[in-house]
Amino acid sequence: MTWDEPSSTATALLLLGRGTDPDTEKGVECPGDLPAPSDPGLVERARAAKAALGDRVFVLGHHYQRDEVIQFADVTGDSFKLAREAAARPEAEYIVFCGVHFMAESADILTSDAQRVVLPDLAAGCSMADMAVLSQVEKAWERFAALGIAGDVVPVTYMNSSADIKGFVGRNDGVVCTSSNAETALRWSFEQGSKVFFLPDQHLGRNTAVLKLGFELSDCVLYDPHKANGGLTDEQLLAARMILWRGHCSVHGRFSLDAVQDVRSRVPGVNVLVHPECRHDVVTSADYVGSTEYIIRMIDNAPAGSAWAIGTELNLVRRLALAHPDKQIMFLERNVCYCSTMNRIDLPHLVWALEELVAGRVPNQITVDAQTAHYARVALDRMLALP
């Protein structure tokens, strides 16, 4: 069955980063005479640089990366799988992370001191991770302490957060979670305390608490760091079981209930499959909800002829559609929905990073300071010890 490319929007094109300001955006240019990504010479240069580096380099490709980059990945996966793959290859001197900044930080935390992690474009951040800044989170924690509830609150951070936030969680007896193990992490947390402070994705926190743990929506409150006192009264904080940070994914947050209803009216029998970073009304109206790895498994195991509308990043949905021509796979929204920061890693940046390594220079190295890395590792290790 054919794949219909969603139409693009002016916003998405703008976000895809036409042009840069070298004075303010350090580390986003790849200087040199690199041609456009479509140039066949670039593919040859990437192959040659990778071959020259051999086992000294290991290239990680997140599922949401462009095909032009994914073709050079030694392994593909979600952020946690990729960080573990990097740690399992101590012989690789350089880890080139085709993903976003927080993923490269996690790789640096989990790999040895001798390994160096490279992000081909430093502008590849994550809007969700950027929504939780350490000073804001510490301010919220001070409020909990002043109210006398800090001892009852267990901080839980989604993998999609900065090393600073993971370090905060590790220091305060909390745990990291992924979209695959959020339910287990929350159950563990509610054995340690009566409340959870969930960072930075409000949707994953709310969806897991309500759909998996049976909480009411009214058990959840939203802490907004841009409002005085987080926008919450003392009474609301005292009564809440889930204190959700006001953060979200700018990609998954775009899927709407209208889109679900629209596809159901157009495609009888369609299965709606979405990521738990989507809004609560979208998740509750979908047929299946799960992590990126779950989505891939569902489509791999789906019967021929079945129809699927998928609510996750477009590069992955397109790749699934092309890999399963016997199934009808469509993008849940009609408009384009790339992760604009993930897409900053393109073939010219990858070639530049690899050729710099061949020349003996390490470009755009991502490092996490020792103290932050220590406590972030504590929170990550707690996650690994979950049942």
In whole angstroms, the minimum distance from the beta carbon of 147 to ligand SF4 comes to: 30
For residue 190, count other CB atoms closer than 10 A to its CB.
17
Which CB sits closer to ligand SF4, 64 or 97?
A: 64
The three-point CA angle 8-270-315 to 5° equals 35
Distance CA 75, CA 72 (A): 9
Q: Should residue 132 be labelled a site residue for ligand SF4 when binding is judged by CB under 6 A?
A: no
Q: Should residue 284 be labelled a site residue for ligand SF4 when binding is judged by CB under 6 A?
A: no
In whole angstroms, the minimum distance from the beta carbon of 318 to ligand SF4 comes to: 15
The one-character DSSP state at 76 is E
Rama region for 8: left / alpha / beta (φ>0; ψ in -120 to 50; rest): beta
Which CB sits closer to ligand SF4, 65 or 136?
A: 65
Q: What Rg, from alpha-carbon coordinates, does the chain have? A: 21
In whole angstroms, the minimum distance from the beta carbon of 214 to ligand SF4 comes to: 26
**Residues of each annotated binding site for [4Fe-4S] cluster:** 126, 249, 339
DSSP state letters, 162-210? -HHHHHHHHHTT-EEE-TTTHHHHHHHHHHH-SEEEEES-HHHHHHIII
Q: Which two tokens stand for residue 364?
A: 């755009």
Q: Should residue 126 be labelled a site residue for ligand SF4 when binding is judged by CB under 6 A?
A: yes
Which CB sits closer to ligand SF4, 53 or 332?
A: 332
Q: Which two tokens stand for residue 310?
A: 């998928």
In whole angstroms, the minimum distance from the beta carbon of 251 to ligand SF4 comes to: 4
- Within 81-120, the residues that bind ligand SF4 by CB under 6 A are 100
Q: Dihedral angle at the C-alpha atoms of 66, 350, 348, 295, nearest 10 degrees?
A: 0
With CB under 6 A as the contact rule, the residue among 108, 313, 346, 356 that binds ligand SF4 is 313
- Within 155-194, the residues that bind ligand SF4 by CB under 6 A are 160
Which CB sits closer to ligand SF4, 136 or 160?
A: 160
Which CB sits closer to ligand SF4, 16 or 307?
A: 16
In whole angstroms, the minimum distance from the beta carbon of 191 to ligand SF4 comes to: 28
Which stretch, 21-29, 107-115, 125-133, 221-229, contacts ligand SF4 (CB under 6 A)?
125-133
Which CB sits closer to ligand SF4, 82 or 128?
A: 128
The three-point CA angle 3-82-351 to 5° equals 70
List of residues 6+ apart from 33 with CB closer than 8 A: none
Q: Cα 150 to the chain's mean position, in Å? A: 28
In whole angstroms, the minimum distance from the beta carbon of 160 to ligand SF4 comes to: 5
Which CB sits closer to ligand SF4, 208 or 341?
A: 341
Distance CA 42, CA 61 (A): 18
Contact letters for ligand SF4, residues 246-265 (x by CB under 6 A)? ---xxx--------------
Q: Should residue 339 be labelled a site residue for ligand SF4 when binding is judged by CB under 6 A?
A: yes
For 352-362, b/e burial (b = at least 16 CB within 10 A) is: bbbbbbeeeee
Query: Which residues of the shown chain bind ligand SF4 in the complex (CB under 6 A)?
Result: 64, 100, 126-128, 160, 249-251, 313, 339, 341-342
